[in-house]
Amino acid sequence: MSEKLTVGFIGVGLMGHGMAKNILQGGYPLVIKGNRNRTPVESLVGMGATEVQTAREMAELCDVIHLCLSNSPQVEAIIRGPDGILAGAKDGLIVVDTTTADPTSTMALAEEMVAQGVHMVDAPLGRTPKEAEAGTLDAMVGASDEAFATVKPIIECWSGSINHIGPVGSGHKMKLIMNFMSMSYASVYSEALSLAVKSGLTPQTVRDVMGPSRMGCGFFDTFFSAAVGGDPNAHKFAIANAAKDVRYVANMAMAAGVMNPMGAAVRNYFDQAEAAGKGQDYVPTIANHIAGLNGVDLPEAVKKGQS
């Protein structure tokens, strides 16, 4: 096809702005839905994007719509609502949901949508807003072969690594497995830091010994850069989003009939931190929270470790 598809984008926030920018720079006509944070909206409009007020308007104009939202209820509302996508969808529209969502919800939505000639693709993200701006995110895609072939060139605008996992829902399942493992790391790292400090070791010792060892990894590096290295923006992922994700992991485990006691322990940590009012703090600060539960002032321990 010589003429580029028109692409819509809903959720031009921390991750979505960079993704939308790269789609626009890939030569695709871009339609965005405004939100309360006008800075990314005005940035994209200034680059040539068209703004609409409702998802219904967007569906009437677009061939493909990207969603980058916080949770499944938001996705359901933007698709099913009176001014939602299905209210204005034309036959053949493809919705690419990059939200970290509940696969049960994703598959139910896909069934509803296909009855109206609309196709769902789930393409949750790996990496951070830095990679979103650079166009080098990881994409885990659940889609039919036909839908994947259509959207792959668009996803290539914002992704450096694309894995077509399987049918609809597969991407969201894989993303939850990844986030279950990463938030488990965060919980273990935090407990280990508390144990180390109470046992007379410095936080820096834990970082410096483990980082270069086979126990080190990319997640370790960004987590410890924030929790011990003093870079608050090294790992931009909110505790509230992590708590939501591990709750979705519990739903996935129940649906599969799999025991998940490790997941329950991780979920309790993140739910407790969110209940304590720390939901908008970034994930590495869970180390401070868990340290506090153990009577440890982790920032003070980090300060002492520098002397």
Q: Residue written as tokens 């790292």?
A: 189
Reported for 110-118, long-range contacts at CB under 8 A and 24+ positions apart, including other chains, are 110/168, 110/169, 112/80, 112/86, 113/79, 113/86, 113/89, 116/86, 116/89, 116/91, 117/89, 117/90, 117/91, 117/92, 117/93, 118/85, 118/86, 118/89, 118/91, 118/92, 118/93, 118/94
Quick check: is 175 catalytic? yes
Residue tagged active-site, from 175, 198, 236, 304: 175
pTM of the model: 0.91
Q: pLDDT of 10-19, one tens digit each?
A: 999 989 999 9
Percent helix, strand, coil in the chain, to 5, is: 55, 15, 30
The C-alpha R_g of the chain, in whole angstroms, comes to 21
Instruction: Report, at the CATH architecture level, how domain 7-167 is classified.
Output: 3-Layer(aba) Sandwich (3.40)
Ranges for all domains in the chain classified under CATH 3.40.50.720: 7-167
Q: pLDDT of 188-221, one tens digit each?
A: 999 999 999 999 999 999 999 999 999 999 999 9
Q: pLDDT of 32-57, one tens digit each?
A: 998 788 999 999 999 999 999 999 99
Q: 173-305, superfamily in CATH? A: N-(1-d-carboxylethyl)-l-norvaline Dehydrogenase; domain 2 (1.10.1040.10)
Ranges for all domains in the chain classified under CATH 1.10.1040.10: 173-305
